[in-house]
A and B are shown apart, each in its own frame.
Chain A
Amino acid sequence: MSAPKYWREIPQRYRFEAARCKKCSKVLFPPRLICPACKSREFEKTRINEKGTVETFTIIRIAPTGFTDEAPYPVGIVDVGDGVRVLCQIADCDPENLKIGMKVRLEFRKIQQEGHAGVINYGYKCVPE
């Protein structure tokens, strides 16, 4: 992954930065240039909540390149409130205990590594509360 491609997403992946629409208060993650709800183009910086609820999940058993060593691993869509949902891996959780509606918390984690000596890519995963 090129440095700029990784670097420009750091505010979201490391710090959960989002944009709150100044007109209708909708929270956009990642930020956008225009609010899809009210078409306003003015935002203030905010952060998404770190606590949320698993709305759906799966267990990836046939993994894409870069993730094969980790398979099987669970992935879910987490509702963190304010109308924001994020897709992320669910870590530190026995697959048998996964269920829709479970309470989780977003944490800063290693996502993947480019080969044995490559750059480590970070981001967020969720863990059971």
Chain B
Amino acid sequence: MRDVAVIGVGMNKWGELWEAAIRDLLAESVLLALDDAGIDSVEAMYIGCMSSGLFTHQEHLGSIGPDYSGICPIPGMRVESACASGGAAFRAAYIHVASGMADIVMAAGVEKMTDVDGGGATFALATAADQEYEVYNGVTFPGLYAMMANHHMHKYGTTRDQLSQVAVKNHLNGSKNPLAQFRMKVTPDQVKNSVMVADPLTLLDCSPITDGSAAVILCSMDKAKELTRKRLVKIIGSGHASDTIQLAQREDISSLKSTNMAAKQALEMAGRKISDINFAEVHDCFTIAEIMVIEALGIAPQGKGGKATADGITAIDGKFPVNASGGLKSKGHPVGATGVAQIAEIVKQVRGEADEGRQVKKADIGLAQNMGGSGASSVVHILEGM
């Protein structure tokens, strides 16, 4: 294993992008990342994408990615682990470079979700859950996270207002992110009183349906020193773990074991403690998810994630800023792109290039946590500025 740095990042403006087909949607961020790195090609490309087949009837992104980015005949490959596809693609690219197989590899992520209607998108997303024992019985993804929320509230006393505070914080951060899908600020009352989706989760507790992409370029440290004058951002930790596909079969319904395991691996590899990390981008697909993730990462004690959020610990000027980008809640959640966009955000923050009003003050070491399904797979990476 050799040292690997991220030398280029790109993310397009996320939203309902009616004019963009998946091929151009993907290429847009790839070109941004190439320009950011100051190079015109890479040796290989991994593409995180959950379900281009169900969302757009287009598979074979391993060809479309390089083709429409103008970098054929490099090898391309799609990586799928539901909503953790982007993080998994980044990890595959990292292993590729760290192994010495190649010096410069791209990890991209894309999801084009608005070519189907709401029912079609719900159907595609539900394939991340157990088809025969969860989806068959009429449960949705908001429904699965709602059951975690109810369990968490019953067991630990987490409150409706604490859930709302996650949305309030992330929309405040996202309001300063020109690439975010929903830049409006929200109040706790607006979150609580928005349409009920699955009790206790309302519409504003849920991340949206988004078209978007992101891309990052990984490079061996030796070569990176030759290629870039920007601050080098080194990958110092990588972790990846799975859990049962069914929520009902987890050891504990209101804790995220896969995230906890992935974080332990990444921290051990980095030789750091969670208190050494300055900030994090985490998978807030629902407000309760962020509360459970910060507990699994050790940012807050188990059961105290809601209180930590309400106390402002995870605010942009708090002790441990979480989702300075606006998170999935405000920035949007094009599923396969999310994990890659988290890495792009960490790199921007570490370089000191985040937008005005949402640059984390001390941003030398950042952590990205990306999660699939109801927590059935998780990927964690830690990056440090050199």
Contacts and interface: CB of A to CB of B under 8 A. Distances in A.
B132 interface: yes
A89 B199 contact: no
Contact of B154 (A60, A89, A100): A100
B126 A76 contact: no
Interface residues of A, number: 31
A60 B119 contact: no
A109 B197 CA distance: 25
A62 B119 contact: no
B122 interface: yes
Contact of A64 (B140, B147, B196, B249): B140
A86 B248 contact: yes
B247 interface: yes
Contact of A57 (B119, B123, B135, B147): B147
B160 to A, nearest CB: 14
Contacts of A100: 150-151, 154
A61 B138 CA distance: 11
Given A77-B248, A111-B137, A64 B126 contact: yes
Nearest to A88: B137
| Chain A residues touching B, majority SS | strand
Contact of B138 (A9, A30, A85, A112): A112
Given A56-B147, A56-B154, A57-B147, A64 B248 contact: no
Interface string B140-159: 10110011101100100000
| Chain B residues touching A, majority SS | helix
A107 interface: no
B134 interface: yes
Interface string A60-93: 1111111100100101110000000111110000
Contacts of A75: 137-139, 143, 147
Contact of B147 (A58, A111, A112, A121): A58
Given A75-B143, A77-B248, A58 B137 contact: no
A59 interface: yes
A77 B144 CA distance: 10
B138 A73 contact: yes
A73, A75, A77 pick with most chain B CB within 10 angstroms: A77
B136 interface: yes
Given A59-B199, A65-B122, A77 B253 contact: yes
Interface of A: 9, 30, 55-67, 70, 73, 75-77, 85-89, 100, 111-112, 121, 123, 125
Given A60-B139, A77-B147, A77-B248, 13 more contacts: A30-B132, A55-B253, A58-B150, A59-B196, A62-B195, A64-B122, A66-B138, A70-B138, A75-B143, A76-B147, A86-B248, A100-B150, A121-B136
Closest 7 CB pairs of A and B: A58-B146, A56-B151, A85-B248, A56-B147, A67-B138, A59-B199, A58-B198
21 contacts: A9-B136, A30-B132, A56-B148, A57-B150, A58-B150, A58-B198, A58-B201, A59-B196, A61-B195, A61-B197, A61-B198, A62-B142, A62-B197, A66-B138, A75-B137, A77-B147, A77-B253, A87-B139, A89-B137, A111-B136, A111-B138
Interface of B: 119, 122-123, 126, 132-140, 142-143, 146-148, 150-151, 154, 195-201, 246-249, 253
